[in-house]
Structure 1
Amino acid sequence: MRRIRYEHSGGPDTLFLEEVAVPTPGPGELLVRTEAIGVTLPVVRKVREAAEPIPLGGELGGEVVRVGEGVTGHAVGDRVTGLCFGHGYADFALLQTAMASPIPAGATARDAVALVRSGVVALGALAAARPEKGESVLVTAAASGVGHLALQLARSRGASRIVAAVGDPAKSDFVRGLGADEVVTYEEASWGEPVDIVLDAVGGKLLKPAVQALAPGGRLVAYSSGGGTVEAYDLLVGGKSVIGFQTAMVARNQPERYAGWVAELWRLFGEGTLRPAVHGEFALEDAALAHEAIEGRRNLGKVVLVP
Structure 2
Amino acid sequence: MRRVRYESTGGPLFLEEAPIPEPGPGELLVRCEAVGVTLPVVRKVTESAEPVPLGGEIAGEVVATGPGAGPHRIGDRVTGLCFGHGYADFAVLHASMASPVPAGATAVDAVALVRSGLVALGALEAARPERGESALVTAAASGVGHLAVQLARVRGAARVVGAVSDPAKADFVRALGADTVALYEDGSWGDPVDYALDAVGGDLLTPALVALAPGGRLVAYSSGGGTVRAYDLLVGAKSVTGFQMARIARERPELYERWRRELWELFGAGAVRVAVHGEFALEEAARAHEAVETRSNLGKVVLVP
TM tier, smaller = over 0.9
1:250 alignment partner in structure 2: 248
Deviation at 1:99, TM superposition (A): 1.4
* Selected match of 2:165 from 157, 164, 167: 167
Residue aligning to 1:5: 5
Instruction: Tell me the matched-pair count.
Output: 305
- In the alignment, the residues of structure 2 paired with residue 100 and residue 219 of structure 1 have an alpha-carbon distance, to the nearest angstrom, of 32
SS at match of 1:279: strand
- Corresponding position of 2:179: 181
Q: Contact 1:98/1:252 (CA < 8 Å) preserved in 2? A: no
Q: Tell me the SS of whatever aligns to 2:113.
A: helix
Q: Which residue of 1 aligns with 2:283?
A: 285
Structure 2 match to 1:142: 140
Identity of counterpart residues, as a percentage?
74
Q: Which runs of 5 or more residues in structure 2 are unaligned?
A: none
CA distance in 1: counterparts of 2:109 and 2:47, whole angstroms = 30
The one-character-per-residue Cα deviations of 1:87-124 (angstroms, maximum 9, x if unpaired) are: 11000111112211100000000100000000000000
Return the match for 2:296 from 295, 298, 304.
298
* TM superposition shift of 1:295: 1.3
CA RMSD, Structure 1 to Structure 2 (Å):
0.9
How does the TM-score come out when normalised to structure 2? 0.98
- The runs of 4+ residues in structure 1 deviating greater than 4 Å are none
C-alpha offsets along residues 116-139 of structure 1, whole Å, 9 cap, x if unaligned?
A: 000000000000111000111100
Q: Secondary structure at the match of 1:7?
A: coil
Report the secondary structure of 1:22's partner residue: coil
- 2:28 alignment counterpart: 30
Say if 2:123 is the partner of 1:129. no
Per-residue deviation, residues 28-62 of structure 1 (Å, max 9, x unmatched) = 21110000000001111111111110111111100
Look up the equivalent residue of 1:104 and give its one-letter code: P
> Which 5+ residue runs of structure 1 have no aligned equivalent?
none
Pick the aligned partner of 1:266 from 258, 264, 267: 264
SS of 2:296 mapped into structure 1: coil
Q: Are residue 204 (structure 1) and residue 202 (structure 2) matched? A: yes
Of 188, 191, 198, the residue aligned with 2:189 is: 191
Deviation at 1:296, TM superposition (A): 1.5
